[in-house]
Structure 1
């Protein structure tokens, strides 16, 4: 048509430009659904978040005295998306001053039990009592202020070993730390660090070994003098020296707290008062 003079080059150029705009607009309309759906989902989640109640909603009881007992009464737990129960019909009682071993293979629900004890999870059925108070009515902050945990995955903050031990402990200082280390007969062990308590930890556990990080976290938990101390797999993933240190301290230390050791390894743990097997 251009060669015959029926269609000019200018018209062809204009036609090409406009047809491209038509096609691009049509394509945008065709894909608008994939853009709108995530936006609608995000708006829905924002509304869910705004409507969500705080974890202490309806929890008006406070633990104003030392934890004397923990009792689980027919506790079941399963995740919302699962039909299978992680824990089923779990019942036991722990009294002050007792050392308890919670034993079970990997995946048996030991870590889930910890989250139930500190109020991160709510039992599907059954009750958990602290000093005969139902955990469903206990303010979580007042509960967690009385529980110390050394988890499998140790996190250390940027700073010195001393600062990590004292983290969150307003009524403790270097003198208290050194006294506790001396009681645990760990003075020589700590002095092996490049600068002892003043050794710098750059990021998480960088600057100390895995075993040393476990000992630091253990000292931090014991220094806090909590009513309940929970040790999650304290001897499973550490070197032989750290394992012997932990077992020696746990065996020799007299405690007025409740000590809960969660482990699938029982060798060397012959000082406990009760075994609860999941």
Structure 2
């Protein structure tokens, strides 16, 4: 958790203010019992009303000063903790944005969400407590001991005997509870994972009538979290009753031995009353510390998880000195590229070599698991290759900044992703400053104008979370329009026409010819009808290229392609 304190630097003035105000508050609290002792010894016992009023007035001033100090200290500590939490969330979000897909797969989306929200909230709450209590408690404890000793050294031996018992008890409970707090955060991860899967997959769950199964799965993970939390609660619940018992017995002991000293004339009544208050302050400061020990282990576990994310060094980074691409526009070349997923037994792609230029359409086809999506994911550098090189405009993509590289690409993923907002906002996601005419033109080319015009608010119609209020085909067309509005050098369509009917598919591909005439187009497709007119067809099988050429040539030279064609088209269509 100490590692995260560096994010407090912007708030060091606030922290200094909290420390100063807390110090004055502690001094005021410690001075009040001494004033009360004077009132009893010199005012009440002697019947001096003027002295009582005089010291009472001073007590009111000191109490008011104490109250003002703690109010402003609380305000500054809250501002510090909230700002610290905001900065930490921003830092994690910015850091995660630079992750490659490997890092996302390694940690998991649900865990990243938990770490950015719940874990940081735990750390933030403890930060408030630390600034308010962790600083005040030692001051009150040490100050209370000093003042108690100054009142009566013999009675102070009771405190010396009690404090080690309390420290030992706090240490034992904290030691047992600490491992369980980390476990709780992992259980929260699991609940988030199950809940996320159930919400995103609700259509499949209902279609296969698996609602009861999913309820059972959620109940199991929820019960697991609850049982662990209860176990921690039981351990931590021991502290407060224990502290209260020790506090009460300590008070009894002080009154017992203090009354004997009063009888013997070695102690005054006011001093005993002040001593009891100092004992209370010492005990309450230790109770505050024990409360911190209830929260610190969980926050420490959360801080460890947050640090794990911040300490991950992204595999894909820009070089300090990046190159600008040459004057060529949209030229792509793969040179003997091999790529493996982490932990995979064999490469997903092996010895891939081909080139594609502007004005050309390159289609990639192959069976399931042949490596089509893996291949096109390498162009925007979602993953880094094991060996070989990928050139864009005659420059290795590892020599180009990721921002510059991706600005050249219009990417349409296999699974169309839309964001909450209007249709026009989703299309402008490809080009933020696109004009209304550009948005409408992109939608027209993508064959989306018809269904958009039929919607109540047209381009201002609202898209629900995940695009659940539009069909799969409509989502794909909006996703294509988002890429088109960008007017990039390279278009990548990852099986982006699968949800379209043959008529719409044909019209869209025809419209794309004029729109992409000066750009390089790479299409991944399952349908032979989508790729047969391509300038170049690449056939993949088990991560290797088994054929490159035009449709007619591959029918005679590539067995894999011939099998794919015969499985989809009739003999008349092939002829």
Per the TM alignment, residue 166 of structure 1 is displaced from its structure 2 partner at its CA by 1.4
Q: Which residue of 1 aligns with 2:568?
A: none
Pick which of 225-234 and 103-112 moved more.
103-112
Structure 1 distance, partners of 2:182, 2:497, is 51
Q: Which residue of 1 aligns with 2:396?
A: 134
Q: Which residue of 2 aligns with 1:205?
A: 467
Cα deviations across residues 191-228 of structure 1 (Å, max 9, x unaligned)? 23333222221222132211111111111111110000
Per the TM alignment, residue 154 of structure 1 is displaced from its structure 2 partner at its CA by 1.4
Does 1:165 find its partner at 2:423? no
Q: Which runs of 5+ in 1 are unaligned?
A: 1-21
Contact map agreement 1:100 1:272 (CA 8 A) in 2: yes
Structure 1 distance, partners of 2:313, 2:395, is 25
Does 1:50 find its partner at 2:311? yes
Contact map agreement 1:150 1:230 (CA 8 A) in 2: yes
Assess, with a 3 A threshold, how the Cα gap between structure 1 residues 268 and 150 changes in structure 2: closer, same or farther.
closer
Q: Which residue of 2 aligns with 1:260?
A: 522
Per the TM alignment, residue 49 of structure 1 is displaced from its structure 2 partner at its CA by 4.2
Does 1:88 find its partner at 2:345? no
Structure 2 distance, partners of 1:104, 1:185, is 27
Pick which of 174-183 and 198-207 moved more.
174-183
The two structures, once aligned, show a CA RMSD in angstroms of 3.3
Per the TM alignment, residue 235 of structure 1 is displaced from its structure 2 partner at its CA by 2.1
Assess, with a 3 A threshold, how the Cα gap between structure 1 residues 198 and 241 changes in structure 2: closer, same or farther.
farther
Assess, with a 3 A threshold, how the Cα gap between structure 1 residues 124 and 32 changes in structure 2: closer, same or farther.
same
Counterpart of 1:228 (choices 490, 508, 524) is 490
Contact map agreement 1:156 1:164 (CA 8 A) in 2: yes
What is the count of residue pairs matched by the alignment? 255
Structure 1 distance, partners of 2:421, 2:182, is 46
Structure 2 distance, partners of 1:213, 1:161, is 10
Contact map agreement 1:236 1:263 (CA 8 A) in 2: yes
| Bigger strand share | 1
Per the TM alignment, residue 171 of structure 1 is displaced from its structure 2 partner at its CA by 3.4
Does 1:215 find its partner at 2:477? yes
Per the TM alignment, residue 252 of structure 1 is displaced from its structure 2 partner at its CA by 5.7
Per the TM alignment, residue 96 of structure 1 is displaced from its structure 2 partner at its CA by 1.3
Contact map agreement 2:411 2:493 (CA 8 A) in 1: yes
Superposed counterparts of 1:1-278, under 5 Å: 43=304, 46=307, 49-50=310-311, 52=313, 55-58=317-320, 60-63=322-325, 65=327, 67-182=329-444, 187-240=449-502, 242-251=504-513, 253=515, 255-278=517-540
Per the TM alignment, residue 36 of structure 1 is displaced from its structure 2 partner at its CA by 8.0
Q: Which residue of 1 aligns with 2:207?
A: none
- Per the normalisation by structure 1, the TM-score is 0.78
| Bigger helix share | 2
Secondary structure at the residue paired with 1:163? helix
Assess, with a 3 A threshold, how the Cα gap between structure 1 residues 251 and 257 changes in structure 2: closer, same or farther.
closer
* Larger-gyration structure (1/2): 2
Contact map agreement 2:446 2:481 (CA 8 A) in 1: no
